[in-house]
Structure 1
Amino acid sequence: MFDLRVLLESIIDIATVVPKTLALALVILLLSLLVGAVIALIQKFKVPVFSQIIKVLQSFLRGTPNVVILLLMYYALPEILTFFTGILGIEFDANSLNPIITVIVTFTISYSVFQSEIIRGSILSIDKGQIEAAQSLGFSSWQTFRRVIVPQALVEAFPDIINSLMIIIKSLSLAYLITVVDILGQAKMVGALNYRYLEAFIGAALIYWVIGMVLTLIANRFELKLRRGFH
C-alpha cells in the first residue's frame, strides 16, 4: 500500500543529488552553447568542409536517440582518447575515464547542434536597421556585435535556452546507464533499498516538477528584466 512517510523519506534522499544534477546540467548547457555558437558561425559563413561535416552530424544526431549516442560514446570515447594520446606519446588508461566526462561530452555534442539553431534564429530575428544604425554611428563590427547583436539575441534566445536546460536535466536520467547517479538514478537506488519503487518514482517526479516550476519562475522574471532594458 502507498505510504506517505516513505514518500517523504524518498524525497529527502533523492534531493541529495539535486545540486550535482543541476551543476552537471549547467556545465553541459554552457559548453553546448559555446560549441553551438561556433557551429552557428561556421554555418553563417559557410566554411568549406566544416559546414558539410556539421550537416552530416546534425542529420545523425537528429535521427539517433540520446540513449544510443550515450552508450556509443561510453565505449568509443576511451578508444578515441587512447588513439590520440598514443600519437602524442601520452600514457592514458582507458579504464580510468570518469563516466561523468562521457556524459558531459555526449550531451554537449548532442545539444550543441540544437543550440546552434537557437543562436542562429535569435541573431536573424534582429532588425537589420539597428545594425545599420550602429554602423552609421561609427561602431566597428565587434562593437556592433557586442553592444547591439548579442544583448538583443540573448533576449530572444533566453526562453529557448531555459527550455534546453530543462531538457538536459531530464535527459540526464539516462546517465544512470553508465553509473552516473542523477535524480532518477538516486530514485532507483532508494527504491531498491526498501522495494518501495512507487514512492521513490513519485518522489523523483515531484522533484523534477518543482525544479521545472522554479526555473520557469526565475526565467520569466529575468526575461522581463532583459526586455525592459530595451524599452
Structure 2
Amino acid sequence: MESIIDFGAIGSYALQLIPYIPVTLALAVLATAFGIIVGLVFALIKMARTPVLSQIAAVIVSYLRGTPILVQLLLNINAMPIFVIWSNQTFGTNWDALALSPFIVATFTFALNEAAYASETIRASLLSVDRREIEAAQSLGMTPWQTLTRITIPNATVVAFPTLVNHFIGMLKQSSLAFVVSVIEITAFAKILGGRDYRYFEAYLATAIVYWAMTVIVEQITRRMEARLSLPTTGPRKRKGQVAAAPEPTPVGSAAVASRVDSERGPA
C-alpha cells in the first residue's frame, strides 16, 4: 500500500532546493540593502521637513505601506514594458520592452517596500542619538555631513540593528512571492518539483524546512553581531577576594566626540 506521505521525497526535495538558495538570498540582501539606503533618505527628508520633498516622500511611503506587496509586484512587472514603450516614443530610444529581467523588477519592488517600513525605524534611531554629541561635533567645527556620517549614523546603527535584522528575515520570507513574476527561486522551483509527481505537500514542506533553516542561521549570525555591537567596555578582571574598582566614566558630549576625532586622526 502506497504511503500517504512520502518522507523520502521531502529530503530529496530539500536537497534539490539548495541550489536556488543563492537566488533567494540575493533577492533578500539586495532588496534590504537598497531599501535601507532609500529608507535613510526618506527619514532624512522627513526630519528636515523640506516643503515639497517631505510631502512627496510621505505619499510614496503611504502608498507602499497601504498596498499589498503582491499587488505591487504584479503592477510593476506590467508597468515596466509600458514605461519602456513610452520612453521609446518620447525620447526616440530603441529599448526592448520585454528584455527587462524579472529579478530586477522583483528586487526594485521589494527594496521600495522595505524602504517604506525601514524609514520609520531609521528615523526613530536617528532621533535617539544623544543631542549633546551632535552639539559637541558642531562645536568642534564638523560640517553637517561629517556629523551625520561620523556621529549620528554610527550611533543610530547600534539602535536600529536588531529591528533591521528582523526586516531582513521578513524580506527573506517575503522573497517567496517573486515566483509570481517568473523569478525561479526556492518557492518557484518547489512548485515545479511538486508538479512532477503531484507531491505538492512534500515539496512545500521541504520548502518550509529550507526557509526555517535559513532563518535560524541568520538569527544565530546576527545574534553574535549584535552582541559584539553592544559589548560594553570592561576594566581589568577582578581577582577572588578583591574589590572591583569602579569603572571609568564613559565620556559624553564634547569629550566623546573629541576622543573619536583624535582616534580617527591617528598618531601625530
Question: In the superposition, relative to structure 1, how do residues 45 and 77 fare at CA in structure 2: closer, same or farther (>3 Å)?
Answer: same
How far apart are the structure 1 equivalents of 2:89 and 2:110? 26
Per the alignment, residue 25 of structure 1 pairs with 28
* CA RMSD between the two structures: 1.7
Structure with more helix by fraction: 1
Distance 1:165 1:216 in 2: 10
> What is aligned with 2:99?
96
Aligned length: 231
Residues 1:81 and 1:47: Cα distance change in structure 2 (over 3 Å): farther
Higher relative contact order, structure no. (Cα contacts within 8 Å, ≥ 6 residues apart): 1
Report 1:141-180 matches (<5 A).
Answer: 141-180=144-183
**Is 1:181 the counterpart of 2:184 in the alignment?**
yes
Listed as ranges, the gaps of 5+ residues in structure 1 are none
* Alpha-carbon displacement from aligned partner over 1:62-86 (angstroms, at most 9, x marks no partner): 2211111111111112212332344
- The one of 190, 193, 204 aligned to 2:193: 190
Counterpart of 1:4 in structure 2 is 7
Letter in 1 for 2:122: I
SS in structure 1 at match of 2:76: helix
Taking the aligned partners of 1:219 and 1:76, their CA distance within structure 2 comes to 37
> Greater shift after overlay, 106-115 or 127-136?
127-136
- State the AA in 1 paired with 2:72: I
In 2, the alpha carbon distance for the partners of 1:190 and 1:228 equals 46
Partner secondary structure for residue 230 of structure 2: helix
Q: Which residue of 2 aligns with 1:43?
A: 46
1:63 aligns with 2:70: no
Distance 2:120 2:80 in 1: 26
TM-score by length of 1: 0.93
How far apart are residue 138 of structure 1 and its match?
A: 4.2
Match of 2:118?
115
- Compute the TM-score of the two structures, normalised by the length of structure 2: 0.81
* Partner SS for 1:17: helix
Give how far 1:143 is off.
Answer: 2.9
Q: Among residues 78, 85, 109, which one is paired with 1:106 in the alignment?
A: 109
Check the 8 A contact 2:191/2:204 in 1, yes or no.
Answer: yes
Aligned CA distance change for structure 1 residues 11 and 167 (closer, same or farther; 3 Å) = same
Aligned residue number for residue 228 of structure 1: 231
Go from structure 1 to structure 2 and tell me whether the alpha carbon gap of 1:187 and 1:21 turns closer, same or farther (over 3 Å shift): same
The residue type equivalent to 1:25 in the other structure is A
Q: Secondary structure at 2:95's aligned position in 1?
A: coil
| Alpha-carbon distance in 1 for matches of 2:95, 2:153 | 40
- Cα shift readout 1:124-156 (whole Å, capped 9, x = no counterpart): 111112222333444443332222212111111
Matched AA of 2:174: S
Structure 2 letter corresponding to 1:147: R
In the alignment, the residues of structure 2 paired with residue 132 and residue 71 of structure 1 have an alpha-carbon distance, to the nearest angstrom, of 47
